[in-house]
Amino acid sequence: MADLKKQIASGKIEPVYFFQGPESWLKEEIETQLKASLFPSESEAALNTIMLYGPDVTLGQIISAASEYPMFTEKKLVVVRQFDKLKKVTGKTESLHQEESLVRYLANPASFAVLVLDAEQVDKKELEKFPYKQLKSFRHDFPAVKHPDVFAAERAREAGWEFDPDALKTFAGYIEPSSRLICQEIEKLTLYVTDKRTERRITLDDVCQCVGISKKYNVFELEKALVGKNLRLCSGIALMIMEQEGQKEGLMNIVRYFTTFFLRIWKLQTPGLQQLSLKDTAAMLGMYGRQEFFAKNYIDYARRFNLAETERALHALRNADAALKGIVQSPDDKFTLLKMMQEILG
């Protein structure tokens, strides 16, 4: 996505873009950047931006909209949301006509239009079928955020801010892995910190105060209790986190955090990986920049838990995840948490 942003910023704008993936916030950012590059003012952008929705239009109607000349400006922007849910046409002849119209347009797109086709996550097999196959050279993927800590650090850095390592770890432990939520929380954090100091640094105190996290009951302290294999303390902190964040949401955050924790340990327990340098170990664990500071901790954790304990923990986390999703029955979320803790540390 960084390369795409640079291309647009340099004035290199393509006539067609096909965005696919669940991260709508990031796609909307690119669309906003396109508007700023194409139009000299917000009023002209509003006048010459056409927003369409897949369930309401056919492929032929999209091509027609892109082929019409703009009003009073040299360019127009046509954005099609839910492109993966296009309105169906009836009849084989009409369907073939629609396909041909897309192929013709892609071969010779309108010079005055920028067409953005925005789809949710499309299955890999479907990407090899019409119309996605024809759009392959125009495709940009926006996959779900897998590492909220890495994403948060990068976004803060883009805005000229740096997280302290413990602040980043705590922030990532509480935020859902969604680009929209992460970016909104970082915006709140930077506004909060700007009023406190001139140094563009986000501390643990900032995260606790702004995001509303307890200094005593947070994932940082939970991890310490987990590493110490203190079942009672670990369960107590986890219950307090659930009390603060809401039962289900708090448990989901804990399960997600523990899953990342034990998967990293499991990776380090693979024979031969102990010989890697600290930088390579951090990269293998998906930890970059200032996060490398914590790679040493995980090397130590991999010695504290044996492979059987790690696999038992991952099995317990799978069971808890299934209970959260209603796949297996559980009386309530507190019971699910305490059972999970017992299976991990009991």
pLDDT digits (tens, 9 = 90+) for 62-81: 999 999 998 778 899 999 99
CATH of domain 145-213: 1.10.8.60
Q: Is 302 helix (H, G, I), strand (E, B) or coil?
A: helix
pLDDT value at residue 166:
86
Domain 2-141 CATH class label: alpha beta
Domain boundaries along the sequence of the chain: 2-141, 145-213, 216-346
Taking the C-alpha atoms of residue 215 and residue 195, their distance in angstroms, rounded to an integer, is: 21
pLDDT value at residue 283:
83
pLDDT digits (tens, 9 = 90+) for 110-138: 999 999 999 999 999 999 999 999 999 99
- Does the pLDDT value for residue 55 go beyond 90? yes
Other CB atoms closer than 10 Å to residue 279's CB: what's the count?
12
- Fold of the domain built from segment(s) 216-346: Zinc Finger, Delta Prime; domain 3 (1.20.272)
pLDDT value at residue 128:
94
pLDDT value at residue 327:
92
Taking the C-alpha atoms of residue 18 and residue 4, their distance in angstroms, rounded to an integer, is: 12
pLDDT digits (tens, 9 = 90+) for 165-198: 888 888 887 788 899 999 999 998 998 898 888 8
- The CA-atom distances, in angstroms, between 244 and each of 97, 184, 251, 261 are 57, 20, 11, 22
Average pLDDT over every residue of 25-29: 95
Task: Name which residue leads in pLDDT, 219 or 162.
Answer: 162
- Does the pLDDT value for residue 213 go beyond 90? no
- Does the pLDDT value for residue 209 go beyond 90? no
Other CB atoms closer than 10 Å to residue 175's CB: what's the count?
22
Taking the C-alpha atoms of residue 7 and residue 309, their distance in angstroms, rounded to an integer, is: 48
For residue 279, give the nearest of 271, 287, 267, 269 by alpha carbon: 287
Q: Report CA torsion sign: 124, 125, 129, 131.
A: negative
Taking the C-alpha atoms of residue 66 and residue 59, their distance in angstroms, rounded to an integer, is: 11
Tokens 């009409």 belong to residue = 94
Helix, strand, coil percent values for the chain (each to nearest 5):
65, 10, 30
pLDDT value at residue 152:
93
pLDDT value at residue 130:
92
Confidence of residue 290 (pLDDT cuts 50, 70, 90): low
DSSP string, 122-182: --TTGGGSTTTGGGGGGEEE-PPPS-HHHHHHHHHHHTT-EE-HHHHHHHHHHS-S-HHHH
- Does the pLDDT value for residue 274 go beyond 80? no
pLDDT value at residue 91:
82
Q: Is 114 helix (H, G, I), strand (E, B) or coil?
A: strand
Taking the C-alpha atoms of residue 71 and residue 37, their distance in angstroms, rounded to an integer, is: 17
- Does the pLDDT value for residue 13 go beyond 70? yes
Average pLDDT over every residue of 203-226: 83
Q: Which amino acid is at 338?
A: L
The fraction of the chain above a pLDDT of 90, given in percent, is 62
Least confident of 14-23, 152-161, 201-210, 300-309: 201-210
pLDDT digits (tens, 9 = 90+) for 320-344: 999 999 998 999 999 999 999 999 9
How high does pLDDT run on average in the chain?
A: 90
